[in-house]
Structure 1
């Protein structure tokens, strides 16, 4: 098996390296790849050489659909027998438009609203998670609350940058950039509305303008500028717990304005070069059972795709960093209510120009309308070049 660092629970892998449960005559041989993971997988598949039996795949699973013939159809191995154990929308993401299941659910990335309880209290706004959720059911009310907090605590922001709002706003949609039959819809209202929302947050002065991949991204969490943020469950670890450990007890989580969403989550696939796909499938279904997904939530903090895990005591324990709140309850509701959306093999090609042009708006080098027009022209050029439209 190939995977990237931090994608699986080490103790579970250690057990399978001795004997695979359900296929005890076999042992797992694990390779963790630290960088350029996807490139190495695609290179191995293209060269048909030294291809592993099992590969982990990130949330860009649809980019592997054109290579579906390189993987076993998991339905032929009995996947449908366990489909009811998993979130329906997550299950569907591993199935190609031709109804071939090439990827099995691992973790998910449900979204919610993180906020600084102490700063909200200082600003004289609601502080209890239920009260905050009731006060900001939609993005408009969230912007109004952000303005109120900023008035009391100058410099306060409700997003790290413009693409932060765009990414999480889009993550709540029931459709994205393409339809399953290959039509481009990334220029339609559902995308433009999220674009306009992102621009509005910036124009209202509520973005910290801390671009992803820079030291500023952590700094705005550390110095308290980012007082609220709609983000995925994994941000709890990568954001405040990592960048601002001194804020322990000051954060809370509640339902996100605009509704449930998902951003992130991975899969496991069995390549066609696997000589014992039944043993590989036995390993996958054991590793991703509700019991073991609950174990993986503890380390490396992967949120389960198995709803039965959400009542496991390993998940429901109060989190001291969040003031003893049972944050799993918020994310579990988001995971169950997320409507699901079709991800296409071309989403990266489409999303990259949109993100780049939004940054141009934030830094003031282009108007919103011009940036949108330029992004759409580039997208259509690229989609034409790769034969997608």
Structure 2
């Protein structure tokens, strides 16, 4: 989920030019294929595992860069460059490609209908185009939870047991009240920021987000969006945050120093905490998200229309994204499966994360996914969410008027997306 843009243009240009001039790549025979992925999610290990089982197949893996850079490279290639046979697309980027079914293989022609039952229905639906084409197979999901510092909670005379902590905040209102209690006792910030740790989480809970079921824009009248925005705004005004934007250097440093006691932690966030604050091992634990359920994140494997070897790419998808393969990948990397049949498997239910006080992360995160309903994520979802976050951040930083924040966000969204 972390975004790096510094070298995006150069990375995209170099990759596409190299692709256009390439001769004799991994797609030279019908068993081999080119695979584009973004970095940081250990696709190399999955490819190596596949090639051990199939030594006659060569997979040319290219880690393009961040998820944003990979999506940019794919967009450029689809416009006239050499496309890969297989590409990994981050969930936030998938909506704009779902609007382009003509540029991708309809995976139903390769057997997608036969495996549909293996995946969470609401995840599957987000890669289905309006004409019914299936454009991607889900590789993982991002169940929601809250990571908290046990030592800092103890200093604030709050419970530290994960079950007791979870009971503190059945709702977002209660969560904010706990933050106020923590601040009153310690004089320190409870959360990193209101935008990511409150708004971005609350808006993922429910059955409608920025678009309605008919794929029409609904961000300006969706009760769920307004409610999530109000939660974020309340947290921003309550003075309970460290005002540290997620994934910045200051945020990473603050995590290590204990500048905040809790942070929203979709399943993929645990890796960021380990990387950015390695000296805090054993000080963290995981509690349930207010509201109990939700998802933020996940990725899809897709096959561009002009792929040289779509059958070879599909064979890889079918084998490496099966329920048992996703389970094995979870055990080795922490990538949460999108296949609910493994959610009760002992390998998942017994998994405990020593960095987070041996929290049963598999059970915590999969429980947050059950019962979710499908909702449409449209091509402008990322831009819309960013403007809502910006409005909350401005209030948090003392640069925005809380009374005008909602209207300001709506106006900025209309400017950003032209709708």
Q: Is the 8 A contact 2:37 2:43 kept in 1?
A: no
Q: Is the 8 A contact 1:58 1:265 kept in 2?
A: yes
Q: Is the 8 A contact 1:19 1:26 kept in 2?
A: no
Cα deviation 1:302-346 (Å, max 9, x = unaligned): 111122333252673322222222121100111223334210011
Counterpart for residue 73 of structure 2: 40
Counterpart for residue 366 of structure 1: 400
State yes or no: 1:321 paired with 2:355. Answer: yes
Counterpart for residue 57 of structure 1: 89
Between the aligned partners of 1:82 and 1:207, the Cα distance in structure 2 is 44
Classify 1:369/1:96 alpha carbon distance in 2 versus 1 (closer, same or farther; 3 Å): farther
Which of the numbers 171, 189, 193 marks the counterpart of 2:227? Answer: 193
Between the aligned partners of 2:332 and 2:299, the Cα distance in structure 1 is 15
> What 5-or-longer segments of structure 2 have no aligned partner?
1-34
State yes or no: 1:84 paired with 2:117. Answer: yes
Between the aligned partners of 2:349 and 2:103, the Cα distance in structure 1 is 36
Cα deviation 1:214-258 (Å, max 9, x = unaligned): 22211221111221222201111202x223222222211121112
Counterpart for residue 389 of structure 2: 355
**TM-score of the pair, normalised by structure 1:** 0.91
Between the aligned partners of 1:75 and 1:117, the Cα distance in structure 2 is 48
**TM-score of the pair, normalised by structure 2:** 0.85
Between the aligned partners of 2:141 and 2:79, the Cα distance in structure 1 is 28
Q: Which of 184-193 and 120-129 deviates more?
A: 120-129
Cα deviation 1:18-50 (Å, max 9, x = unaligned): 665xxx864322211125221111000011x31
Which of the numbers 16, 28, 31 marks the counterpart of 2:62? Answer: 31
Counterpart for residue 176 of structure 1: 209
Q: Is the 8 A contact 2:183 2:190 kept in 1?
A: yes
1:282-293 matches, cutoff 5 A = 282-293=315-326
1:334-345 matches, cutoff 5 A = 334-345=368-379
Q: Which of 279-288 and 302-311 deviates more?
A: 302-311
Which of the numbers 307, 312, 333 marks the counterpart of 2:367? Answer: 333
Between the aligned partners of 2:304 and 2:257, the Cα distance in structure 1 is 46
Between the aligned partners of 1:350 and 1:325, the Cα distance in structure 2 is 34
Q: Is the 8 A contact 2:44 2:61 kept in 1?
A: no
Q: Is the 8 A contact 2:194 2:233 kept in 1?
A: no
Between the aligned partners of 1:97 and 1:129, the Cα distance in structure 2 is 42
Provide the aligned C-alpha RMSD in A.
2.1
Tell me which of the two structures has the higher relative contact order, counting C-alpha pairs closer than 8 angstroms and 6 or more residues apart.
1
SS of 2:285's partner is: strand
Q: Is the 8 A contact 1:9 1:295 kept in 2?
A: no
Q: Is the 8 A contact 1:157 1:207 kept in 2?
A: yes
Q: Is the 8 A contact 2:236 2:393 kept in 1?
A: no
Shift, 1:176, TM fit: 1.0
Between the aligned partners of 2:227 and 2:284, the Cα distance in structure 1 is 29
Counterpart for residue 163 of structure 2: 130
Between the aligned partners of 2:408 and 2:179, the Cα distance in structure 1 is 30
Q: Which of 278-287 and 149-158 deviates more?
A: 149-158
Classify 1:226/1:269 alpha carbon distance in 2 versus 1 (closer, same or farther; 3 Å): same
Classify 1:15/1:46 alpha carbon distance in 2 versus 1 (closer, same or farther; 3 Å): same
Between the aligned partners of 1:184 and 1:156, the Cα distance in structure 2 is 36
Counterpart for residue 46 of structure 2: 12
Classify 1:180/1:7 alpha carbon distance in 2 versus 1 (closer, same or farther; 3 Å): farther
1:64-213 matches, cutoff 5 A = 64-188=97-221, 189-213=223-247
Counterpart for residue 218 of structure 1: 252
SS of 1:2's partner is: strand
Q: Is the 8 A contact 2:86 2:303 kept in 1?
A: yes
> What 5-or-longer segments of structure 1 have no aligned partner?
none
